[in-house]
Amino acid sequence: MPLHERYLVNVDLSTVPLLRTRCLVIGGGIAGLSAALAAARNGQVILASKAPLVESNSSYAQGGIAVALADDDTAELHIEDTLRAGGGLCDREAVRILVNEGRERCRELIDMGIEFDRVGGRIAFTREGAHSRRRIIHADGDATGKAVIGAMLAAVERNPNILVLENHFAIDLLHMDGACRGAFFLDTRYGRYIRAEAGFTVVAAGGPGQVYRETTNPSIATADGYAMCFRAGAELADMEFVQFHPTTLYLPGAPRFLISEAVRGEGAYLINQEGERFMPRYSEQAELSPRDVVSQSIFKELAATRDTCVYLDLRHLNPDTVARRFPTIKSVCANYGVNISTDPIPVRPAEHYMMGGVATDMNAATRVRNLYAAGETAFTGVHGANRLASNSLLEGLVFGHRAGMAEPVPVGDAGPAALQKRLPARGTSLDIDDICQSLKAVTWRNLGAFRNAERLAETVETLQSWSRYVLAEEFHMSPGFEVQNMLTTAWLITESALRRNESRGAHQRTDFPATDPAWTRHSRIAIDSDDKERSS
């Protein structure tokens, strides 16, 4: 299958402007910003983002950051909650690093000036699904991501060692002889190419949300990091584990706006069309079950009732408390005629987060020398088969920082041949929108919360057909590059899901409904030295 073929336009590299830096960071979310700020302690950094830096998944984070800072909480409890939610696939050492270093990273955010919400002068903690304690810190009620990213961006702007390149789409990594040497960019404002060579490169390019028809992710989440690192020879792991957030707004004409898990943490119930609270029938933890359990329970309830949505009910909660804790959610719902204190909110699950990703060690290093990955792009082993709520921002902070503290390994002169296999144009016009919409429909139908071998095999065949067509095109703009990245990542998810013959966490196979102890291991997929995919 030719999904790993390079799709770069024919460009004479000698004519492309060249930038050199000690560290190149691709991605402007919390992991990328954490990496850039850490790397800037030791030298020059280029921070590149395909969009303005304020636009990232991290900016939209509502619930907050899970961190064991409360008086009745401990690192050990946070570790155990994470392991329990992860379905037996979390790496305990990675979780230990996350929880222990996370406290230090969060204290740095407080020192940076972020005003986390307080009660009586002390930091306020809320609870979310599968947490045994109230340990989620939050800012501006339900606008934590915006507050955190805003403060980190201000720190980046003040740092003289960081050069920011906004609206620069990373087309591909520059790599040779098993080493990464930077990246090749399209400046989307002016339609020109730029080459950035770096001692080491950190890919923190976000998740695959736009691969799916319904997602909480913004339009920039087109799976670029996974595909880019895959083509460069990195190994990917556990790509079958895609998390669906249980509660996104479901109204005609409304975006799939996320209704934070913190709403259930503060006491909201899930009810069906008959007004029945149904989660206790599926799990003892009811609405505070892990996300995979809640999402799968909602889909089962919808199948049983033949309805299109369920409802999140806050009517029994104090309206003043609701307004103070969830001002953004209240405002957005009001724009669509829903008063969250008097009206149940219509919701259903949507794609939210990738637990798998580019395989790294505990220092965020991939198997490609001088290539690091962090944030949702990376697989650190922290999340296992199901991410514990609000561990994502923490992971971006901790492992982004570790990536930024890397020391480049000398690899010699890159030479002029770092870009290879440029493809000729077919002379036809490809309907990018049509391919994207068709892809989203297939993935939503076949790669959702429940899967089976027949539909997965059908998806592989479909993706092979589309990819042969798409890869014959030569692109000069980012939408063409994005659709290829989305096709590649959809294939990575499908192949991984097809091979895991069990149900575990966010991966549920209707033809293999049991959890198999033999599958208490990570799936792996990569391109070997002969440019053929290998998987296990």
The pLDDT tens digits for 310-359 are 999 999 999 999 999 999 999 999 999 999 999 999 999 999 999 999 99
CA distance 206 to 204: 6
Strand order in the sheet with 136-137: 65-66, 136-137, 125-126
Cα atoms in the Cβ-side hemisphere of radius 13 Å centred on 366:
34
pLDDT less than 50: residues of the chain: 1-8, 415-428, 529-536
pLDDT for position 96: 98
Longest pairwise C-alpha distance within the chain: 68
pLDDT for position 471: 63
pLDDT for position 497: 97
CA distance 143 to 281: 32
**Whole-prediction pTM value?**
0.92
CB atoms within 10 A of CB 146: 18
pLDDT for position 528: 72
CA distance 405 to 200: 10
pLDDT for position 1: 33
CA distance 90 to 66: 17
pLDDT for position 422: 39
Instruction: For the chain, give the mean pLDDT.
Output: 90
**May I ask the CATH class of domain 432-524?**
mainly alpha
Per-residue burial over 115-138, b = 16 or more CB atoms within 10 Å of its CB, e = otherwise: ebbeeeeeebbbbbbbbebbbbbb
pLDDT for position 466: 85
Parallel, antiparallel or unpaired: strands 345-354 and 269-271: unpaired
The catalytic site residues sit at 291
pLDDT for position 472: 59
Taking phi over 0 as left and psi of -120 to 50 as alpha, with beta for the rest, 141 belongs to left
pLDDT for position 98: 97
- Smallest CA-to-CA distance from 210 within 3, 430, 440 is with 440
Helix (H, G, I), strand (E, B) or coil at 398: helix
**May I ask the CATH class of domain 246-350?**
alpha beta
CA distance 292 to 281: 15
DSSP 423: P
Which residues share a beta bridge with 372? 202, 365
Please give, one letter per residue, the 3-state secondary structure of 115-174: CCCEECCEECEECCCCCCCCCEECCCCCCHHHHHHHHHHHHHHHCCCEEEECCEEEEEEE
CA distance 398 to 103: 9
- Smallest CA-to-CA distance from 411 within 196, 173, 200 is with 200
Q: Are 383 and 90 a contacting pair, CB within 8 Å?
A: yes
Q: Are 310 and 404 a contacting pair, CB within 8 Å?
A: no
Q: Are 157 and 42 a contacting pair, CB within 8 Å?
A: no
Token representation of residue 393 = 């921002």
In the chain, where does the domain assigned CATH 3.90.700.10 lie?
Answer: 246-350
CA distance 471 to 492: 16
- Catalogue the long-range contacts made by 83-87 (C-beta closer than 8 Å, 24 or more residues apart): 83/384, 84/130, 85/130, 85/290, 85/384, 85/386, 85/387, 85/388, 86/383, 86/384, 86/385, 86/386, 86/387, 86/388, 86/505, 87/292, 87/384, 87/385, 87/386, 87/504, 87/505, 87/515
pLDDT for position 3: 41
In the chain, where does the domain assigned CATH 1.20.58.100 lie?
Answer: 432-524
